[in-house]
Amino acid sequence: MVFSPPLFILSQMHNAAKKIVCQTFGCRLNQYETEKMAAELRPFGFERVKDSEPADLYLINTCTVTHRADRDCKSYIRKAVRKNPNARIVVAGCYVDYDPGNVMSIDGVDAILLNSEKESISKILPSRVPDLFDNEPDKNCSTMVTDFFERNRAWLKISDGCNQWCSFCIIPKVRGRLKHRSANEIISEINQLVEHDYKEVVLTGVNIGYYNDRTGNLKAKNLAELCRLIFSETNLHRLRLSSIESQTVGPELLDEYASANGRFCRHFHIPMQSGSSRILKLMQRPYDRENYIRRLELVKQAKPNTIIGGDVIVGFPGETEIDYNETRSLAESGLLDYLHVFSYSDRQGTIADGIADKVDSFVIRKRSAELNILSNKIRKGALQRQVGEILEVIPQSKTNRYDDSWGVADNFIKVKLPNSNDKFSLVKVQIDSAKEDYVEGNVVSVA
């Protein structure tokens, strides 16, 4: 006899929540887009779970900025397939745009999404993995980004694409030309995040410094005006910028930064890439050493205890010992508080790939190691300067994984916190000691 479940059981099975794991590689922009895709799928009954839990769908948002990024993405895809062979695997993002055939050929991948398709995920996926879309979407379920899975700080995409075409970079080819979201959308989304208790929003994009939107009733001709709108049209407690190019850090933005009464985070990440004007020219960067230094000086002058970080590419084709030493001396100048050090590797499809004067791999590893040691040194100096300061900290996670909690101060300093159940609190901490890569102290107040 064949058993047929009662209708009410079939109904429950039909409407049961489907589990989804979302994994992001790469930049803050990718992290925002992952949350947006998850929000678009929410009306279909998908429930977010941790990577350690079984899932019906893996949504993997990839990066392709380096060969290592490609390798890490492929490794995770294969791991997801092994872990849950019955799950559907959907791969999206920059690696898909760079090499869609290679991604689709990975055993176990059910569907891919180009960057241009991410915003249409709720229309595209039902036809590509139809067995997971066996019910109509809930029309009353919002698709606004109102939550960042297990995180207390939110990212918000204000633009996409890049017109800069640096000679080492593949991103314009996989992200396209610069385009901006409307200021109206941005303000609306921030207000939604504030309603859901988010105290900090990080503005992100490939090249946010060129932001310009005049399409709606809320207009912003540049990034400074967008920040001004955010401060006037929302109750957001604090605003942070993600990576921003030095040539776009102008007087109007710095005036807004200096006059924001603590609502503008005292942290700038300004890519350097090289301290040598000669190498910067080969990289097709739109500034030289002197211009970069001047912009950092202006940021430091605008507000005390501002932390500035920068990216560095070591071993770009043609980099001599003199060029490298110029990078090192700039890093030691006191203007930078930490470095993100990247070892150059050829990227097929870029101009730099065709430059013949390659730096020996041993030399690249040696220089990278030296700059990482230097970065640790200057970071420790920045941490030591916090002793005696009162820092306002937002706990990083919504859940406790350890006996201690960790938070981020407005100036991007990592702070050790006493354990707390209220993960959306603003905690003021008077710093009394600096450790290897964090500071700690006594809680002054919790708001």
Q: What is the pLDDT of residues 58-108, one digit of tens each?
A: 999 999 998 889 999 999 999 999 988 899 999 999 999 999 999 999 999
Q: Does residue 49 register a pLDDT over 50?
A: yes
| Dist CA 135 CA 144 (whole Å) | 21
Q: How does pLDDT run across 337-386, given as a tens digit for each residue? A: 999 999 999 998 999 999 999 999 999 999 999 999 999 999 999 999 99
Instruction: Tell me the pLDDT band of 217, cut-offs 50, 70 and 90.
Output: confident
Q: Which helix (H) or strand (E) holds 89?
A: strand 88-93
Domains in the chain with CATH codes: 15-132 (3.40.50.12160), 147-265 (3.30.750.210), 274-385 (3.30.750.200), 390-446 (2.40.50)
Q: What is the pLDDT of residue 398?
A: 63
- Dmax over CA atoms of the chain, in Å, equals 83
Please say whether the dihedral angle defined by the alpha carbons of residues 90, 95, 100 and 106, taken in this order, is positive or negative. negative
Q: What is the pLDDT of residue 1?
A: 41
**What is the chain's Cα-based Rg?**
23
> By C-alpha distance, which of 117, 133, 164, 150 is closest to 31?
150
| Dist CA 123 CA 103 (whole Å) | 21
Looking at the DSSP assignment, which residues form a beta bridge with residue 171? none
Any idea what the Cα angle at residue 35 is, between residues 32 and 36, rounded to 5°? 85
Q: How does pLDDT run across 112-171, given as a tens digit for each residue? A: 999 999 999 999 999 999 999 988 899 899 898 888 888 889 999 999 999 999 999 999
Spacing of C-alpha 139 from chain mean position: 30
Q: What is the pLDDT of residue 221?
A: 95
| Dist CA 78 CA 146 (whole Å) | 31
- For residue 397, what is the DSSP state? B
Query: Inter-axis angle of helices 289-302 and 251-258, to 10 degrees?
Result: 20
DSSP line for 170-197: -HHHHH-S-EE--HHHHHHHHHHHHHTT
For residues 353 and 404, the model is more confident at 353
Structure token digits, residue 398: 């919504």
| Dist CA 88 CA 128 (whole Å) | 10
pTM of the entire predicted model: 0.91
